[in-house]
Structure 1
Amino acid sequence: MSRLRLLCTAAVLTLAANANASSFIMTTDSIVGALKATSDATSDATSSLRDNKVVQAARDDAASFVASEGAIRGVKLESALAHIRQQAPQLAIATDAQLAQAILAI
């Protein structure tokens, strides 16, 4: 009788381990897929802005804005911020300071 219980316990543990492993794999696949989609969207947005003349022209104004902690707002920076928010709606929630830093980074 104890052999039967031991065999049943081993079978249940094996099934439970397989269920947990497949659940873990499905969860990580979902998370990785979501991160990849977000990364691709952000990459597409920044690469299209990287080559934009309006954004490139605002680099000096962005540097002044960041250095003065928002006190100096140049016309080219204002134009670039409006352009970025129009071209990349997913970046519309970013603050002016975040976008100015992004302009300096690209």
Structure 2
Amino acid sequence: MNLTLTEQAKEKLREIPGDKMIHLSFDRGSCDIVNTLYEMKVINIRETESYEKIIQSEQLDFIVDDDFEDSYDHELTIDYKNNFFVFKNKNQTFNNRIGLRYV
């Protein structure tokens, strides 16, 4: 997957401690899968489950479900504007109000 971060997103995500990783998981209760990621969870570094994998970008680890890449057509840009993260690719903006939550 081509996962890129804008400068604004990198700046915000650099605040995350080095012993953490970012978990991107869908709300499976919705029928519109690409718009059902409402928050990025900051979790302790852990091993992946059998249905998960790690995507690295800008020295950050993102843990995602196996079907995450397919949902975004293998291309995702994460931006940060107006106190929210924005998920988009060259064709569309998927969600422009994604929060960051420490768990």
* TM-score band, normalised by shorter chain: under 0.3
Structure (1/2) with the larger strand percentage = 2
Kindly indicate whether structure 1 or structure 2 has the higher relative contact order, using CA contacts under 8 Å at least 6 residues apart. Answer: 2
Q: When the two structures are superposed, what TM-score results if normalisation uses the length of structure 2?
A: 0.23
Structure (1/2) with the larger helix percentage = 1
